[in-house]
Amino acid sequence: MAAFVAGDHADAYEQLRAAFTRDFRPAPVHYHASVYYLGDLAAAAVRAGRREDARTVVEAVEHSLEPDRSPRLAAVLHRAAALLSETEDAERHFRAALADPATDCWPFERALTHLDFGEWLRRRRRSAEARPHLGAALECFQRLDARPRTDRTAAELRAAGAPTAPPTTTRALSELTAQERRIAELAAQGLTNRDIAARLYLSPRTVGYHLHKIFPKLGIRARAQLRDALEQNPPQ
């Protein structure tokens, strides 16, 4: 996953591919854990030009599984099938991967599917349909402080025609205290709560409390929106 977010998709694919055998019919190396990598394997394969090899893995593993699958595993398989599909059938798999509310128990995996589906829709010039999926992904990544994913999703949202921060008035910014403004500026630069706390001699929990108050004052929902909100209204 580190290689993937760093943009080294070939290495990411090889690392994920190692979770399955190199046999004619690939099988999971680990009886339980390996199958949950299939969605990420497919995502890396698309970017590394290894779609055919990944499709062989996914199809072989899926045929070996019992038909009665857990909601999580079913969602992983649908995400993988959607990413590897080169037809409009991908949409059916994306929707199936998101259909079961039981997968809310795995928010990061669900957010990845929202992001993948949003990207797929945007590239087919269906930006209005893409924005809700990208927005759901952004909210989750921001809440989990998954910053590389947050940045990627925010860029997709902008490309889909949605500003990552709604219009912010000078009056809204004037409601911030001097300390809140400083915390917002540091957070917008990419500093973590712990980094900000060390800089301002506060506790990370106090920084989080202030950010919890800052977001509604600025009319935003995600950390990635802070920079845009502050740039719209620089200090007078």
* Average per-residue pLDDT for the chain: 89
Quick: pLDDT tens for 158-181: 998 886 554 444 556 677 888 999
What pLDDT sits at residue 148? 86
Chain position carrying tokens 């009886």: 31
Decide: 84 and 76 in contact? Cβ < 8 Å: no
125: left (phi over 0), alpha (psi -120 to 50) or beta: left
How far apart CA 17 and CA 184 sit, in angstroms, is: 41
pLDDT tier at 109, thresholds 50, 70, 90: very high
- Which tokens sit at 38? 């299939």
Instruction: Tell me if residue 67 falls in helix, strand or coil.
Output: coil
For the cut 90, the answer to whether the pLDDT of residue 41 exceeds it is yes
Closest C-alpha among 195, 173, 193, 190 to residue 227: 190
What pLDDT sits at residue 108? 95
What pLDDT sits at residue 169? 47
pLDDT tier at 55, thresholds 50, 70, 90: very high
pLDDT tier at 6, thresholds 50, 70, 90: confident
Q: Please list, residue by residue across 86-98, b when 16 or more beta carbons sit within 10 angstroms of its beta carbon and e when fewer do.
A: eeeebbebbebbb
Q: pTM of whole model > 0.85?
A: no
What pLDDT sits at residue 221? 76
Determine how many CB atoms are found less than 10 A away from the CB of residue 162: 19
Write the DSSP symbol of residue 20. Answer: B
Q: Can you tell me the mean pLDDT for 151-156?
A: 90
Decide: 37 and 77 in contact? Cβ < 8 Å: no
For the cut 90, the answer to whether the pLDDT of residue 233 exceeds it is no
Quick: pLDDT tens for 176-232: 888 999 999 999 999 999 999 999 999 999 998 899 888 888 878 788 888 888 876
